[in-house]
């Protein structure tokens, strides 16, 4: 009888320990997935921020007074896609109207979210290869465009850009893979604000 009681107590204790161990393993697995997702989202934002911030560099809307240009291609940009140009190599003369010499690698960039592959894709018609995946395992990417007018403005947010856009907000969301014993589904998101330092509004601030 004493042996049976001892074995029962031991089995109960083993059950408690195995339950706690299983929970700790699932928590560690969840945190590991979360760390990977955070790293992927942060890497994507770093790449996008660096290039989008240079949009409009070296581009003028007119040849006489060199009106600044934010570099955004309005007709080809929306909440899930952004197309921008920058004359990084500064090719073109001041007498050329609408100086848009963006025919070199890194000067005509489009970022968009590919739902089929769950990835952020970078397209550059002047580079080889023209298309490359920036980061995968992304659930969604949303671009919000903030427009400013005059030397001082509070800004208005829009789903599409305009000639007055001076700031772009990027939201990257990642849905984590299900983990046994943990709340599912779980998602994390990163938001980054990018100042278009070559836009008319930002240049008026200096």
DSSP assignments along 146-166, one per residue: EE--SSS---EEESS--TTEE
pLDDT given for residue 169 in this prediction: 94
> Tell me, what's the pLDDT at 204?
72
| Cα–Cα distance, 32 to 14 (Å, whole number) | 27
Q: What is the mean pLDDT of residues 119-139?
A: 89
Cα distance between residue 81 and residue 137, in whole Å: 17
pLDDT at position 3 is: 77
Given a cut of 80, is residue 81 above it in pLDDT?
yes
Mean pLDDT of 7-26: 72
pLDDT recorded at residue 152: 62
What pLDDT, on a 0 to 100 scale, did the predictor assign at position 68? 76
Dist CA 51 CA 126 (whole Å):
15
pTM of the complete model = 0.77
**Mean pLDDT to the nearest integer, 151-172:** 87
What are the boundaries of each domain within the chain?
A: 2-203
**CA 74 to CA 160: how far, in whole Å?**
7
81 or 24: which leads in pLDDT: 81
Check residues 192 and 35 and name the one with the higher pLDDT.
Answer: 192
């Amino acid at each position: 009888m004493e042996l049976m009681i001892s074995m029962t107590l031991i089995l109960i204790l083993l059950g408690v320990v195995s339950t706690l161990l299983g929970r700790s393993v699932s928590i560690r697995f969840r945190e590991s997935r979360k760390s990977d997702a955070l790293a992927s989202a942060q890497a994507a934002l770093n790449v996008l921020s660096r290039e989008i911030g240079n949009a409009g560099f070296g581009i003028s809307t007119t040849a006489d007074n060199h009106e600044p240009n934010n570099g955004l291609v309005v007709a080809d940009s929306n909440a899930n896609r952004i197309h921008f140009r920058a004359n990084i190599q500064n090719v073109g003369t001041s007498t050329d109207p609408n100086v848009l010499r963006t025919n070199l690698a890194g000067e005509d960039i489009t970022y968009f979210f590919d739902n089929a592959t769950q990835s952020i894709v970078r397209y550059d018609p002047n580079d080889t290869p023209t298309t490359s995946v920036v980061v995968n395992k992304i659930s969604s990417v949303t671009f919000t465009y903030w427009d400013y007018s005059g030397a001082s403005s509070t800004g208005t947010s829009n789903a599409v850009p305009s000639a007055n856009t001076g700031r772009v907000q990027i939201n990257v969301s990642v849905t984590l893979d299900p983990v046994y014993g943990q709340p599912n589904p779980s998602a994390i998101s990163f938001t980054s604000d990018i100042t278009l330092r070559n836009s008319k509004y930002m240049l008026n601030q200096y």
